[in-house]
Structure 1
Amino acid sequence: MLTGEKKFVRSGQVRLWTERFGHPGDPSVLLIMGTSTPGIGWPDELVEALVDSGRQVIRFDHRDTGRSDCVDFTTHPYALADLAADATAVLDGHGVAAAHLVGSSLGAAIGQWLAVHRPARVRTLTAMASSPMGNNPGPAWARAMAGQPAAVDELPPPTARFLHHLVASAHAPRTTVAERMEADVQTWRVLNGEVLPFDEAAARRFVERCYARATDIAAAANHNLAGQRWDDDRRASLSAVTASTLVLHGSADPLFPPAHGEALAAQIPGAHLEIVPGMGHHPFFSPGLTERIAGSIIRHTT
Protein backbone atom coordinates (compact mmCIF):
# COMPACT_ATOMS: atom_id res chain seq x y z
CA MET A 1 0.00 0.00 0.00
CA LEU A 2 1.26 3.46 -0.93
CA THR A 3 2.07 5.61 2.10
CA GLY A 4 3.46 9.12 2.17
CA GLU A 5 4.65 11.72 4.65
CA LYS A 6 1.76 14.08 5.38
CA LYS A 7 2.71 17.61 6.33
CA PHE A 8 1.17 21.07 6.55
CA VAL A 9 3.13 24.00 5.15
CA ARG A 10 2.35 27.71 5.19
CA SER A 11 1.88 30.05 2.27
CA GLY A 12 1.48 33.42 3.93
CA GLN A 13 -1.56 33.06 6.19
CA VAL A 14 -2.81 29.94 4.39
CA ARG A 15 -2.00 26.44 5.66
CA LEU A 16 -1.66 23.82 2.92
CA TRP A 17 -1.91 20.05 3.27
CA THR A 18 0.87 18.17 1.47
CA GLU A 19 1.94 14.56 1.00
CA ARG A 20 5.43 13.43 -0.03
CA PHE A 21 6.42 10.01 -1.39
CA GLY A 22 9.74 8.43 -2.25
CA HIS A 23 13.32 9.19 -1.25
CA PRO A 24 14.12 12.84 -0.48
CA GLY A 25 17.36 12.54 -2.43
CA ASP A 26 15.61 11.63 -5.67
CA PRO A 27 14.59 14.22 -8.28
CA SER A 28 11.36 15.90 -7.20
CA VAL A 29 8.06 15.91 -9.08
CA LEU A 30 5.42 18.39 -7.91
CA LEU A 31 1.90 17.41 -8.96
CA ILE A 32 -0.48 20.38 -9.27
CA MET A 33 -4.18 19.57 -9.63
CA GLY A 34 -6.86 21.46 -11.54
CA THR A 35 -9.76 23.71 -10.59
CA SER A 36 -11.59 22.85 -7.36
CA THR A 37 -9.78 19.51 -7.09
CA PRO A 38 -7.62 18.39 -4.13
CA GLY A 39 -4.27 16.69 -4.45
CA ILE A 40 -5.76 13.20 -4.25
CA GLY A 41 -7.01 13.84 -7.79
CA TRP A 42 -3.58 12.49 -8.73
CA PRO A 43 -4.23 8.75 -8.31
CA ASP A 44 -2.03 6.55 -6.16
CA GLU A 45 -1.22 4.41 -9.20
CA LEU A 46 0.41 7.36 -10.96
CA VAL A 47 2.30 8.40 -7.83
CA GLU A 48 3.55 4.86 -7.30
CA ALA A 49 4.75 4.57 -10.91
CA LEU A 50 6.73 7.81 -10.56
CA VAL A 51 8.24 6.75 -7.23
CA ASP A 52 9.21 3.36 -8.66
CA SER A 53 11.02 5.17 -11.48
CA GLY A 54 13.28 6.94 -8.97
CA ARG A 55 11.44 10.16 -8.26
CA GLN A 56 10.31 11.91 -5.11
CA VAL A 57 6.67 12.92 -5.58
CA ILE A 58 4.77 15.68 -3.79
CA ARG A 59 1.05 16.35 -4.13
CA PHE A 60 -0.96 18.92 -2.19
CA ASP A 61 -4.41 20.35 -1.62
CA HIS A 62 -4.91 23.79 -3.12
CA ARG A 63 -6.29 26.44 -0.81
CA ASP A 64 -10.07 26.03 -0.61
CA THR A 65 -9.84 22.28 -1.27
CA GLY A 66 -9.34 19.17 0.82
CA ARG A 67 -7.65 19.66 4.16
CA SER A 68 -5.99 22.95 3.28
CA ASP A 69 -7.30 26.22 4.69
CA CYS A 70 -10.34 27.90 3.18
CA VAL A 71 -10.31 31.60 2.33
CA ASP A 72 -12.99 34.27 2.48
CA PHE A 73 -12.73 35.28 -1.17
CA THR A 74 -14.80 38.42 -0.66
CA THR A 75 -12.33 39.93 1.80
CA HIS A 76 -9.20 38.12 0.57
CA PRO A 77 -9.52 37.55 -3.19
CA TYR A 78 -6.70 35.70 -4.90
CA ALA A 79 -5.48 35.06 -8.43
CA LEU A 80 -3.26 32.68 -10.39
CA ALA A 81 -0.14 34.32 -8.95
CA ASP A 82 -1.29 33.48 -5.41
CA LEU A 83 -1.90 29.84 -6.35
CA ALA A 84 1.58 29.78 -7.88
CA ALA A 85 2.98 31.18 -4.62
CA ASP A 86 1.24 28.30 -2.83
CA ALA A 87 3.06 25.83 -5.09
CA THR A 88 6.45 27.40 -4.33
CA ALA A 89 5.59 27.36 -0.62
CA VAL A 90 5.02 23.61 -0.91
CA LEU A 91 8.46 23.21 -2.47
CA ASP A 92 10.00 25.38 0.25
CA GLY A 93 8.22 23.40 2.93
CA HIS A 94 9.88 20.22 1.68
CA GLY A 95 13.28 21.80 1.08
CA VAL A 96 13.10 21.47 -2.71
CA ALA A 97 14.90 24.16 -4.70
CA ALA A 98 13.54 23.09 -8.11
CA ALA A 99 11.17 20.38 -9.29
CA HIS A 100 9.67 18.77 -12.34
CA LEU A 101 6.25 20.43 -12.44
CA VAL A 102 3.29 18.37 -13.64
CA GLY A 103 0.03 20.29 -13.82
CA SER A 104 -3.45 19.47 -15.05
CA SER A 105 -5.86 22.18 -16.29
CA LEU A 106 -5.58 25.01 -13.72
CA GLY A 107 -2.49 23.23 -12.38
CA ALA A 108 -0.91 23.49 -15.82
CA ALA A 109 -1.63 27.23 -15.88
CA ILE A 110 0.11 27.49 -12.50
CA GLY A 111 3.04 25.58 -13.98
CA GLN A 112 3.17 27.99 -16.92
CA TRP A 113 3.14 30.97 -14.55
CA LEU A 114 6.05 29.54 -12.58
CA ALA A 115 8.01 28.65 -15.72
CA VAL A 116 7.73 32.29 -16.84
CA HIS A 117 8.08 34.15 -13.53
CA ARG A 118 10.04 31.69 -11.33
CA PRO A 119 12.13 29.73 -13.85
CA ALA A 120 14.75 28.71 -11.28
CA ARG A 121 12.09 26.58 -9.52
CA VAL A 122 11.19 24.59 -12.66
CA ARG A 123 13.34 21.71 -13.91
CA THR A 124 10.80 20.61 -16.53
CA LEU A 125 7.14 21.37 -17.18
CA THR A 126 4.40 18.91 -18.12
CA ALA A 127 1.18 20.76 -18.96
CA MET A 128 -1.86 18.52 -19.33
CA ALA A 129 -5.39 19.41 -20.48
CA SER A 130 -4.63 23.10 -20.56
CA SER A 131 -4.69 26.29 -22.57
CA PRO A 132 -2.16 29.14 -22.74
CA MET A 133 -2.34 30.93 -19.39
CA GLY A 134 -2.98 34.25 -21.13
CA ASN A 135 -5.97 32.97 -23.07
CA ASN A 136 -9.25 34.32 -21.73
CA PRO A 137 -11.92 31.80 -22.74
CA GLY A 138 -14.80 33.94 -21.50
CA PRO A 139 -15.78 35.61 -24.81
CA ALA A 140 -15.71 32.30 -26.71
CA TRP A 141 -17.86 30.64 -24.02
CA ALA A 142 -20.36 33.53 -24.07
CA ARG A 143 -20.72 33.36 -27.87
CA ALA A 144 -21.18 29.60 -27.77
CA MET A 145 -23.81 29.80 -25.01
CA ALA A 146 -25.65 32.40 -27.10
CA GLY A 147 -25.55 30.16 -30.18
CA GLN A 148 -23.16 32.47 -32.01
CA PRO A 149 -20.18 31.29 -34.09
CA ALA A 150 -16.68 31.58 -32.66
CA ALA A 151 -14.54 34.54 -33.64
CA VAL A 152 -11.81 33.84 -36.18
CA ASP A 153 -8.94 34.71 -33.84
CA GLU A 154 -10.07 32.86 -30.68
CA LEU A 155 -9.55 29.34 -29.44
CA PRO A 156 -12.65 27.12 -29.63
CA PRO A 157 -15.20 26.91 -26.82
CA PRO A 158 -16.11 23.68 -25.01
CA THR A 159 -18.15 21.07 -26.80
CA ALA A 160 -21.92 21.42 -27.11
CA ARG A 161 -22.33 18.45 -24.75
CA PHE A 162 -20.26 20.15 -22.07
CA LEU A 163 -22.11 23.47 -22.42
CA HIS A 164 -25.45 21.64 -22.25
CA HIS A 165 -24.24 19.92 -19.08
CA LEU A 166 -23.42 23.29 -17.51
CA VAL A 167 -26.97 24.50 -18.12
CA ALA A 168 -28.53 21.25 -16.90
CA SER A 169 -26.26 21.12 -13.86
CA ALA A 170 -27.25 24.64 -12.84
CA HIS A 171 -30.86 23.47 -12.56
CA ALA A 172 -30.16 20.07 -11.00
CA PRO A 173 -31.34 19.57 -7.39
CA ARG A 174 -28.56 20.05 -4.83
CA THR A 175 -30.48 20.18 -1.56
CA THR A 176 -28.77 17.13 -0.06
CA VAL A 177 -25.20 15.85 0.07
CA ALA A 178 -26.23 12.85 -2.03
CA GLU A 179 -27.62 15.14 -4.75
CA ARG A 180 -24.50 17.29 -4.76
CA MET A 181 -22.28 14.22 -5.00
CA GLU A 182 -24.36 12.82 -7.86
CA ALA A 183 -24.00 16.11 -9.73
CA ASP A 184 -20.22 15.97 -9.27
CA VAL A 185 -20.06 12.41 -10.60
CA GLN A 186 -21.97 13.47 -13.70
CA THR A 187 -19.57 16.37 -14.25
CA TRP A 188 -16.64 13.95 -14.15
CA ARG A 189 -18.51 11.78 -16.65
CA VAL A 190 -18.81 14.68 -19.10
CA LEU A 191 -15.18 15.72 -18.57
CA ASN A 192 -14.13 12.16 -19.42
CA GLY A 193 -15.22 12.78 -23.01
CA GLU A 194 -17.31 10.60 -25.27
CA VAL A 195 -14.69 8.24 -26.72
CA LEU A 196 -13.12 6.18 -23.93
CA PRO A 197 -14.94 4.23 -21.19
CA PHE A 198 -15.79 6.02 -17.95
CA ASP A 199 -15.13 4.21 -14.67
CA GLU A 200 -18.14 5.48 -12.74
CA ALA A 201 -17.34 3.44 -9.64
CA ALA A 202 -13.88 5.02 -9.41
CA ALA A 203 -15.36 8.49 -9.88
CA ARG A 204 -17.89 7.87 -7.10
CA ARG A 205 -15.18 6.66 -4.72
CA PHE A 206 -13.16 9.78 -5.51
CA VAL A 207 -16.11 12.13 -4.94
CA GLU A 208 -16.89 10.40 -1.64
CA ARG A 209 -13.27 10.84 -0.51
CA CYS A 210 -13.36 14.51 -1.47
CA TYR A 211 -16.49 15.14 0.57
CA ALA A 212 -15.18 13.16 3.53
CA ARG A 213 -11.93 15.10 3.81
CA ALA A 214 -13.02 18.60 2.78
CA THR A 215 -12.90 21.41 5.31
CA ASP A 216 -15.61 23.22 3.32
CA ILE A 217 -16.63 21.54 0.06
CA ALA A 218 -18.35 24.71 -1.20
CA ALA A 219 -15.16 26.79 -0.90
CA ALA A 220 -13.68 25.10 -3.97
CA ALA A 221 -15.96 27.28 -6.11
CA ASN A 222 -13.59 30.16 -5.32
CA HIS A 223 -11.21 28.73 -7.90
CA ASN A 224 -13.63 29.78 -10.63
CA LEU A 225 -13.57 33.33 -9.28
CA ALA A 226 -9.78 33.32 -9.16
CA GLY A 227 -9.66 32.01 -12.73
CA GLN A 228 -11.64 35.03 -13.92
CA ARG A 229 -8.97 37.50 -12.74
CA TRP A 230 -6.73 38.54 -15.63
CA ASP A 231 -3.65 40.33 -14.31
CA ASP A 232 -0.70 41.44 -16.44
CA ASP A 233 1.54 38.69 -15.05
CA ARG A 234 -0.85 36.14 -16.57
CA ARG A 235 -0.53 37.78 -20.00
CA ALA A 236 3.28 37.47 -19.99
CA SER A 237 4.67 35.82 -23.11
CA LEU A 238 5.27 32.08 -22.92
CA SER A 239 8.24 32.59 -25.26
CA ALA A 240 10.21 33.29 -22.06
CA VAL A 241 9.86 29.67 -20.90
CA THR A 242 13.23 27.91 -20.88
CA ALA A 243 12.21 24.67 -19.14
CA SER A 244 11.83 21.61 -21.32
CA THR A 245 8.07 21.34 -21.80
CA LEU A 246 5.70 18.48 -22.61
CA VAL A 247 2.13 19.38 -23.55
CA LEU A 248 -0.20 16.42 -22.98
CA HIS A 249 -3.66 16.85 -24.46
CA GLY A 250 -6.61 14.62 -25.16
CA SER A 251 -8.10 14.40 -28.63
CA ALA A 252 -11.56 14.31 -26.98
CA ASP A 253 -11.10 17.04 -24.36
CA PRO A 254 -14.59 18.58 -24.04
CA LEU A 255 -13.46 21.63 -22.05
CA PHE A 256 -10.34 22.59 -24.00
CA PRO A 257 -10.53 21.09 -27.50
CA PRO A 258 -7.13 20.06 -28.96
CA ALA A 259 -6.52 23.48 -30.51
CA HIS A 260 -5.80 24.75 -27.00
CA GLY A 261 -2.99 22.27 -26.48
CA GLU A 262 -1.65 22.99 -29.96
CA ALA A 263 -1.62 26.73 -29.22
CA LEU A 264 0.13 26.17 -25.89
CA ALA A 265 2.86 24.04 -27.46
CA ALA A 266 3.33 26.57 -30.27
CA GLN A 267 3.93 29.40 -27.81
CA ILE A 268 6.60 27.64 -25.72
CA PRO A 269 10.00 27.31 -27.43
CA GLY A 270 10.86 23.68 -28.16
CA ALA A 271 7.74 22.27 -26.50
CA HIS A 272 6.71 18.74 -27.44
CA LEU A 273 3.01 18.15 -28.07
CA GLU A 274 1.55 14.71 -27.36
CA ILE A 275 -2.09 14.26 -28.35
CA VAL A 276 -3.55 11.25 -26.54
CA PRO A 277 -6.26 9.54 -28.65
CA GLY A 278 -9.66 9.51 -26.98
CA MET A 279 -8.54 11.21 -23.78
CA GLY A 280 -10.90 13.76 -22.27
CA HIS A 281 -10.16 16.57 -19.85
CA HIS A 282 -9.50 14.39 -16.80
CA PRO A 283 -7.88 11.08 -17.78
CA PHE A 284 -7.83 9.24 -14.49
CA PHE A 285 -11.31 7.73 -14.74
CA SER A 286 -10.52 6.08 -18.10
CA PRO A 287 -9.03 2.59 -17.60
CA GLY A 288 -5.45 2.38 -18.84
CA LEU A 289 -4.82 6.11 -19.19
CA THR A 290 -3.13 6.52 -15.79
CA GLU A 291 -0.36 4.15 -16.88
CA ARG A 292 0.05 5.97 -20.19
CA ILE A 293 0.23 9.39 -18.53
CA ALA A 294 2.77 8.08 -16.00
CA GLY A 295 4.93 6.74 -18.82
CA SER A 296 4.89 10.08 -20.62
CA ILE A 297 5.86 11.94 -17.46
CA ILE A 298 8.68 9.49 -16.69
CA ARG A 299 10.12 9.82 -20.20
CA HIS A 300 9.93 13.61 -20.10
CA THR A 301 11.52 13.95 -16.68
CA THR A 302 14.41 11.55 -17.36
Structure 2
Amino acid sequence: MQDVNIWSEEFGAATDAPILLIMGSMSQGILWPDEFVARLVTGGRRVIRYDHRDTGLSDTVDFAARPYTWHDIKNDVYRVLDAHGLDSAHLVGHSAGGLLGQYLAVERPDRVRSLTVIGSSPLGGAEGQVLMRALLGQPQPEGSLPEPTPEFVAFYRTLISAPPPDNRADRIDAMIAEQRVLHGTGLPFDEDAARELQERIHDRARDLSAVANHRLAGAADPDFEPVGVLHQVKAPTLVVEGSHEPAKPGHGALIADRIPGARLLTVAGMGHTLPPEVHEELATAVLAHTAG
Protein backbone atom coordinates (compact mmCIF):
# COMPACT_ATOMS: atom_id res chain seq x y z
CA MET A 1 0.00 0.00 0.00
CA GLN A 2 2.10 2.86 -1.33
CA ASP A 3 -0.54 5.60 -1.44
CA VAL A 4 -0.43 6.36 2.28
CA ASN A 5 1.10 9.76 3.03
CA ILE A 6 3.68 9.69 5.81
CA TRP A 7 4.43 12.86 7.78
CA SER A 8 8.10 13.51 8.52
CA GLU A 9 10.39 16.37 9.45
CA GLU A 10 14.14 16.83 9.45
CA PHE A 11 16.61 18.93 11.38
CA GLY A 12 20.23 19.91 10.83
CA ALA A 13 22.38 20.41 7.76
CA ALA A 14 21.71 18.30 4.68
CA THR A 15 25.45 17.64 4.45
CA ASP A 16 25.63 16.04 7.91
CA ALA A 17 25.45 12.30 8.50
CA PRO A 18 21.75 11.27 8.52
CA ILE A 19 19.99 9.62 11.44
CA LEU A 20 16.48 8.24 10.95
CA LEU A 21 14.55 7.94 14.21
CA ILE A 22 11.94 5.14 14.18
CA MET A 23 9.41 5.21 17.01
CA GLY A 24 7.52 2.20 18.34
CA SER A 25 4.14 0.74 17.52
CA MET A 26 1.14 3.05 17.79
CA SER A 27 3.47 5.95 18.56
CA GLN A 28 3.98 9.34 16.96
CA GLY A 29 7.40 10.54 15.90
CA ILE A 30 7.31 13.42 18.37
CA LEU A 31 7.87 10.90 21.14
CA TRP A 32 11.49 11.39 20.12
CA PRO A 33 11.96 14.37 22.46
CA ASP A 34 12.84 17.72 20.94
CA GLU A 35 15.71 18.10 23.42
CA PHE A 36 17.21 14.75 22.42
CA VAL A 37 16.89 15.61 18.73
CA ALA A 38 18.55 18.98 19.37
CA ARG A 39 21.53 17.29 21.01
CA LEU A 40 22.00 15.09 17.96
CA VAL A 41 21.78 18.08 15.62
CA THR A 42 24.26 20.07 17.73
CA GLY A 43 26.55 17.05 17.47
CA GLY A 44 26.56 17.36 13.68
CA ARG A 45 23.80 15.04 12.55
CA ARG A 46 20.94 15.44 10.10
CA VAL A 47 18.00 14.03 12.03
CA ILE A 48 14.68 12.80 10.62
CA ARG A 49 11.65 11.65 12.59
CA TYR A 50 8.25 10.61 11.26
CA ASP A 51 4.77 9.45 12.22
CA HIS A 52 3.91 5.86 11.35
CA ARG A 53 0.79 5.39 9.26
CA ASP A 54 -2.31 5.64 11.45
CA THR A 55 -0.52 7.88 13.96
CA GLY A 56 -0.18 11.62 14.31
CA LEU A 57 -0.25 13.61 11.08
CA SER A 58 0.29 10.66 8.75
CA ASP A 59 -2.68 9.25 6.85
CA THR A 60 -5.19 7.07 8.64
CA VAL A 61 -6.61 4.00 6.94
CA ASP A 62 -9.98 2.28 6.89
CA PHE A 63 -8.49 -1.07 7.86
CA ALA A 64 -11.56 -3.10 6.94
CA ALA A 65 -11.51 -1.69 3.41
CA ARG A 66 -7.72 -1.44 3.00
CA PRO A 67 -5.99 -3.86 5.37
CA TYR A 68 -2.23 -3.85 5.70
CA THR A 69 0.44 -5.75 7.62
CA TRP A 70 3.63 -4.92 9.46
CA HIS A 71 5.48 -5.49 6.20
CA ASP A 72 3.80 -2.30 4.98
CA ILE A 73 4.84 -0.46 8.16
CA LYS A 74 8.38 -1.74 7.61
CA ASN A 75 8.37 -0.65 4.00
CA ASP A 76 7.28 2.82 5.08
CA VAL A 77 10.79 3.20 6.53
CA TYR A 78 12.25 2.79 3.05
CA ARG A 79 9.72 5.29 1.73
CA VAL A 80 10.81 7.87 4.30
CA LEU A 81 14.46 7.34 3.39
CA ASP A 82 13.60 7.70 -0.30
CA ALA A 83 11.53 10.83 0.29
CA HIS A 84 14.51 12.49 1.96
CA GLY A 85 16.85 11.42 -0.83
CA LEU A 86 18.81 8.95 1.28
CA ASP A 87 20.32 5.77 -0.07
CA SER A 88 21.26 4.87 3.52
CA ALA A 89 21.18 6.27 7.04
CA HIS A 90 22.02 5.52 10.63
CA LEU A 91 18.86 3.92 12.08
CA VAL A 92 17.83 4.55 15.68
CA GLY A 93 14.72 2.62 16.71
CA HIS A 94 12.75 2.56 19.94
CA SER A 95 10.66 -0.46 20.99
CA ALA A 96 8.95 -1.81 17.84
CA GLY A 97 10.96 0.79 15.92
CA GLY A 98 14.05 -1.10 17.04
CA LEU A 99 12.47 -4.28 15.71
CA LEU A 100 11.95 -2.58 12.34
CA GLY A 101 15.54 -1.41 12.38
CA GLN A 102 16.74 -4.97 12.96
CA TYR A 103 14.59 -6.19 10.07
CA LEU A 104 16.00 -3.56 7.70
CA ALA A 105 19.55 -4.36 8.77
CA VAL A 106 18.96 -7.97 7.74
CA GLU A 107 16.90 -7.30 4.62
CA ARG A 108 18.75 -4.30 3.16
CA PRO A 109 22.16 -3.96 4.80
CA ASP A 110 23.18 -1.49 2.09
CA ARG A 111 20.69 1.02 3.49
CA VAL A 112 21.77 0.79 7.15
CA ARG A 113 24.99 2.60 8.08
CA SER A 114 24.63 1.69 11.73
CA LEU A 115 21.88 0.44 14.01
CA THR A 116 20.89 1.64 17.47
CA VAL A 117 18.14 -0.28 19.22
CA ILE A 118 16.51 1.19 22.35
CA GLY A 119 14.06 -0.64 24.62
CA SER A 120 13.38 -3.33 22.02
CA SER A 121 13.08 -7.08 21.64
CA PRO A 122 15.11 -9.37 19.38
CA LEU A 123 13.75 -9.89 15.89
CA GLY A 124 12.07 -13.29 15.73
CA GLY A 125 11.51 -13.46 19.48
CA ALA A 126 7.69 -13.39 19.30
CA GLU A 127 7.50 -10.67 21.94
CA GLY A 128 3.83 -10.09 21.19
CA GLN A 129 2.99 -13.70 22.03
CA VAL A 130 4.93 -13.43 25.30
CA LEU A 131 2.94 -10.34 26.23
CA MET A 132 -0.39 -11.95 25.34
CA ARG A 133 0.35 -15.04 27.41
CA ALA A 134 1.35 -12.82 30.33
CA LEU A 135 -1.89 -10.84 30.06
CA LEU A 136 -3.91 -14.07 29.99
CA GLY A 137 -1.96 -15.58 32.89
CA GLN A 138 -0.73 -18.45 30.76
CA PRO A 139 2.65 -20.14 31.32
CA GLN A 140 5.47 -19.24 28.97
CA PRO A 141 7.11 -22.03 26.97
CA GLU A 142 10.72 -22.79 27.77
CA GLY A 143 13.04 -20.43 25.93
CA SER A 144 10.52 -17.58 25.67
CA LEU A 145 11.59 -13.99 26.15
CA PRO A 146 11.38 -12.60 29.70
CA GLU A 147 7.91 -11.36 30.67
CA PRO A 148 7.06 -7.72 31.38
CA THR A 149 7.04 -6.66 35.01
CA PRO A 150 4.01 -7.54 37.16
CA GLU A 151 3.07 -3.85 37.38
CA PHE A 152 3.08 -3.58 33.58
CA VAL A 153 0.94 -6.71 33.18
CA ALA A 154 -1.54 -5.61 35.84
CA PHE A 155 -1.98 -2.19 34.23
CA TYR A 156 -2.68 -3.58 30.76
CA ARG A 157 -5.03 -6.24 32.07
CA THR A 158 -7.11 -3.45 33.56
CA LEU A 159 -6.77 -1.31 30.43
CA ILE A 160 -8.03 -3.91 27.98
CA SER A 161 -11.05 -4.74 30.16
CA ALA A 162 -12.17 -1.14 30.70
CA PRO A 163 -14.34 0.87 28.29
CA PRO A 164 -12.37 3.47 26.32
CA PRO A 165 -12.55 7.07 27.57
CA ASP A 166 -15.10 9.12 25.68
CA ASN A 167 -13.84 12.68 26.18
CA ARG A 168 -10.58 14.58 25.80
CA ALA A 169 -9.83 15.03 29.50
CA ASP A 170 -10.34 11.34 30.33
CA ARG A 171 -8.37 10.23 27.27
CA ILE A 172 -5.42 12.39 28.26
CA ASP A 173 -5.59 11.15 31.87
CA ALA A 174 -5.50 7.57 30.56
CA MET A 175 -2.54 8.39 28.33
CA ILE A 176 -0.67 9.87 31.29
CA ALA A 177 -1.39 6.77 33.36
CA GLU A 178 0.04 4.60 30.61
CA GLN A 179 3.12 6.82 30.32
CA ARG A 180 3.65 6.51 34.08
CA VAL A 181 3.71 2.71 33.85
CA LEU A 182 6.04 2.76 30.85
CA HIS A 183 8.31 5.25 32.62
CA GLY A 184 9.14 2.65 35.24
CA THR A 185 10.22 3.19 38.82
CA GLY A 186 13.86 4.20 38.41
CA LEU A 187 13.39 7.96 37.97
CA PRO A 188 10.87 10.50 39.30
CA PHE A 189 7.80 10.84 37.09
CA ASP A 190 7.07 14.43 36.00
CA GLU A 191 3.29 14.49 35.65
CA ASP A 192 3.18 18.09 34.41
CA ALA A 193 5.61 17.29 31.59
CA ALA A 194 3.67 14.10 30.84
CA ARG A 195 0.42 16.07 30.56
CA GLU A 196 2.02 18.57 28.18
CA LEU A 197 3.33 15.74 25.98
CA GLN A 198 0.10 13.75 25.95
CA GLU A 199 -1.99 16.83 25.17
CA ARG A 200 0.29 17.48 22.22
CA ILE A 201 -0.01 13.88 21.04
CA HIS A 202 -3.78 13.89 21.46
CA ASP A 203 -4.39 17.15 19.67
CA ARG A 204 -2.14 16.58 16.66
CA ALA A 205 -3.57 13.15 15.81
CA ARG A 206 -5.81 12.96 12.75
CA ASP A 207 -7.65 10.07 14.43
CA LEU A 208 -6.40 8.94 17.82
CA SER A 209 -8.28 5.64 17.60
CA ALA A 210 -6.54 4.66 14.35
CA VAL A 211 -3.45 3.47 16.24
CA ALA A 212 -5.38 0.26 17.00
CA ASN A 213 -4.84 -0.67 13.35
CA HIS A 214 -1.24 -1.54 14.24
CA ARG A 215 -2.58 -4.40 16.36
CA LEU A 216 -4.80 -5.52 13.49
CA ALA A 217 -1.79 -5.39 11.16
CA GLY A 218 0.11 -7.66 13.52
CA ALA A 219 -2.79 -10.12 13.71
CA ALA A 220 -3.06 -10.10 9.91
CA ASP A 221 0.51 -11.38 9.60
CA PRO A 222 1.54 -13.24 12.77
CA ASP A 223 4.65 -14.59 11.01
CA PHE A 224 5.99 -11.12 10.18
CA GLU A 225 9.27 -11.60 12.01
CA PRO A 226 11.92 -13.88 10.50
CA VAL A 227 13.51 -16.18 13.06
CA GLY A 228 17.20 -16.89 13.56
CA VAL A 229 18.54 -14.15 11.28
CA LEU A 230 20.17 -11.64 13.61
CA HIS A 231 23.59 -13.16 13.02
CA GLN A 232 23.28 -11.73 9.51
CA VAL A 233 23.34 -8.12 10.73
CA LYS A 234 26.49 -6.44 9.45
CA ALA A 235 25.80 -2.88 10.61
CA PRO A 236 27.62 -1.72 13.74
CA THR A 237 25.00 -2.13 16.45
CA LEU A 238 24.41 -0.40 19.76
CA VAL A 239 21.72 -1.87 22.02
CA VAL A 240 20.31 0.31 24.79
CA GLU A 241 18.14 -0.85 27.68
CA GLY A 242 17.03 0.94 30.83
CA SER A 243 17.85 -0.60 34.18
CA HIS A 244 14.14 -0.28 35.05
CA GLU A 245 12.64 -1.44 31.73
CA PRO A 246 9.07 -2.62 32.48
CA ALA A 247 7.93 -3.85 29.05
CA LYS A 248 10.89 -5.84 27.73
CA PRO A 249 13.24 -6.45 30.67
CA GLY A 250 16.41 -8.25 29.67
CA HIS A 251 15.56 -8.27 25.97
CA GLY A 252 18.40 -5.89 25.12
CA ALA A 253 21.04 -8.35 26.28
CA LEU A 254 19.52 -11.01 24.03
CA ILE A 255 19.72 -8.69 21.00
CA ALA A 256 23.33 -7.83 21.77
CA ASP A 257 24.17 -11.50 22.16
CA ARG A 258 22.68 -12.43 18.78
CA ILE A 259 24.17 -9.63 16.65
CA PRO A 260 27.90 -10.07 16.03
CA GLY A 261 29.94 -7.32 17.64
CA ALA A 262 26.94 -5.53 19.14
CA ARG A 263 27.50 -3.44 22.27
CA LEU A 264 25.02 -3.24 25.14
CA LEU A 265 24.52 -0.01 27.09
CA THR A 266 22.43 -0.09 30.27
CA VAL A 267 21.09 3.34 31.23
CA ALA A 268 20.59 3.72 34.98
CA GLY A 269 17.04 4.54 36.02
CA MET A 270 15.54 4.49 32.52
CA GLY A 271 12.34 2.58 31.87
CA HIS A 272 10.55 2.38 28.50
CA THR A 273 10.35 6.13 27.91
CA LEU A 274 12.91 8.82 27.08
CA PRO A 275 12.79 11.33 29.97
CA PRO A 276 15.08 14.38 30.16
CA GLU A 277 17.39 12.71 32.69
CA VAL A 278 18.66 10.29 30.02
CA HIS A 279 18.91 12.61 27.00
CA GLU A 280 22.56 13.52 27.49
CA GLU A 281 23.73 9.93 27.97
CA LEU A 282 21.66 8.63 25.08
CA ALA A 283 22.67 11.41 22.70
CA THR A 284 26.34 11.04 23.60
CA ALA A 285 26.16 7.30 22.95
CA VAL A 286 24.34 7.73 19.62
CA LEU A 287 26.73 10.44 18.45
CA ALA A 288 29.72 8.26 19.26
CA HIS A 289 28.14 5.26 17.55
CA THR A 290 27.33 7.21 14.37
CA ALA A 291 30.67 9.01 14.13
CA GLY A 292 33.00 8.41 11.22
Q: Which residue of 1 aligns with 2:280?
A: 291
Partner Cα distance (2:28, 2:13) in 1: 23
Matched, 1:230 2:222: yes
Trace 1:121-270 onto structure 2 (pairs within 5 A): 121-170=111-160, 171=162, 174-228=165-219, 229-231=221-223, 234-235=226-227, 237-258=229-250, 260-270=251-261
Partner Cα distance (1:173, 1:242) in 2: 44
One-letter amino acid of the structure 2 residue matched with residue 72 of structure 1: D
Instruction: State the Cα distance separating 1:161 from its structure 2 match.
Output: 0.5
Q: Which residue of 1 aligns with 2:22?
A: 32
Q: Secondary structure at the match of 2:226?
A: helix
Q: Which 5+ residue runs of structure 1 have no aligned equivalent?
A: 1-10
Q: Secondary structure at the match of 2:134?
A: helix
One-letter amino acid of the structure 2 residue matched with residue 175 of structure 1: D
Q: Which residue of 2 aligns with 1:274?
A: 265
Instruction: State the Cα distance separating 1:146 from its structure 2 match.
Output: 4.3
78, 83, 90: which one aligns with 1:100: 90
One-letter amino acid of the structure 2 residue matched with residue 42 of structure 1: W
- Alignment check: 8 A CA contact 1:27 1:55 kept: yes
The 1:39–1:153 alpha-carbon spacing in structure 2 relative to 1, beyond 3 Å, is same
Q: Which residue of 2 aligns with 1:64?
A: 54
TM-score (norm 2): 0.94
Superposition CA RMSD, Å:
1.7
Partner Cα distance (1:174, 1:196) in 2: 28
Q: Secondary structure at the match of 1:235?
A: coil
Partner Cα distance (1:251, 1:78) in 2: 35
Give me the identity figure in percent: 47
- Alignment check: 8 A CA contact 1:116 1:238 kept: yes
- Alignment check: 8 A CA contact 2:98 2:116 kept: yes
One-letter amino acid of the structure 2 residue matched with residue 181 of structure 1: I
273-282 or 27-36: which moved more?
A: 273-282
One-letter amino acid of the structure 1 residue matched with residue 261 of structure 2: G
Instruction: State the Cα distance separating 1:271 from its structure 2 match.
Output: 0.6
Q: Which residue of 2 aligns with 1:109?
A: 99
- Alignment check: 8 A CA contact 1:17 1:60 kept: yes
Instruction: State the Cα distance separating 1:64 from its structure 2 match.
Output: 0.4
The 1:188–1:255 alpha-carbon spacing in structure 2 relative to 1, beyond 3 Å, is same
Q: Which 5+ residue runs of structure 2 have no aligned equivalent?
A: none
Instruction: State the Cα distance separating 1:138 from its structure 2 match.
Output: 4.2
TM-score (norm 1): 0.91
Instruction: State the Cα distance separating 1:214 from its structure 2 match.
Output: 0.8
Partner Cα distance (2:150, 2:163) in 1: 18
- Give the aligned length: 289
Instruction: State the Cα distance separating 1:172 from its structure 2 match.
Output: 5.9
Instruction: State the Cα distance separating 1:148 from its structure 2 match.
Output: 4.7
32, 36, 39: which one aligns with 1:49: 39
